[in-house]
């Protein structure tokens, strides 16, 4: 059995309370956080995406060195990962830092992303070489990507501390 009780009438002189819905509150919070993140948030996101791309490329190179992946598949993985790094670099480059700290953050991020692009060039040269001559080896490519990933990790640590 369900009892229906009438709603109590509003008290004289009182205003009805307005409640914000959960979606409206979440949207407001998202706008607030986006406004606060600015350059640091965009750089942190770009660094995280690039770090993931470099890790994927290194995994492909190691599998290639172990004979578990074809050169064509390795080359495709490197190309896809490089595109991700290029997208991140473009995002960081388009930022408009307002403070000296933001400009320094942007500069450091661009330097790290440039190091990633150079490491990818080494890795791609190794994969396209036929293991003869003075071309870099896949181990050289992996070392170059490892150094680039270290630079990204250091930048991520600094961004996380600000």
Closest CA to 77 of 118, 124, 141: 124
pLDDT in tens, 16-73: 555 544 443 333 333 333 344 589 999 999 999 999 999 999 999 999 999 999 999 9
Structure tokens at 79: 């190309």
Maximum pairwise Cα distance, the chain: 92
pLDDT in tens, 99-125: 999 999 999 999 999 999 999 999 999
CA-CA distance, 62 to 34, in Å (whole number)?
Answer: 38
CA-derived radius of gyration, the chain: 25
CA-CA distance, 135 to 60, in Å (whole number)?
Answer: 19
What's the predicted TM-score (pTM) here?
A: 0.73
Residue 108 and residue 141 in contact, taking contact as beta carbons nearer than 8 Å: no
């Amino acid at each position: 059995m369900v009892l229906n009780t009438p709603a109590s009438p509003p008290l004289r002189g009182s205003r009805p309370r307005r409640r914000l819905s959960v979606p409206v509150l979440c949207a407001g919070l998202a706008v607030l956080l986006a406004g606060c993140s600015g350059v640091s948030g965009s750089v942190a996101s770009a660094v995280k995406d690039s770090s993931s791309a470099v890790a994927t490329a290194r995994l492909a190179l190691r599998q290639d060195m172990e004979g578990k992946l074809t050169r064509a598949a390795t080359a495709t993985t490197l190309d896809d990962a490089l595109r991700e790094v290029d997208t991140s670099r473009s995002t960081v480059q388009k930022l408009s830092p307002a403070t000296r700290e933001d400009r320094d953050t942007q500069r450091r991020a661009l330097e790290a992303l440039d190091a990633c692009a150079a490491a990818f060039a080494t890795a791609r040269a190794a994969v396209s070489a036929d293991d003869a001559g003075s071309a870099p080896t896949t181990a050289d490519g992996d070392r170059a990507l490892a150094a680039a990933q270290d630079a990204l990790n250091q930048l991520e640590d600094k961004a996380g501390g600000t």
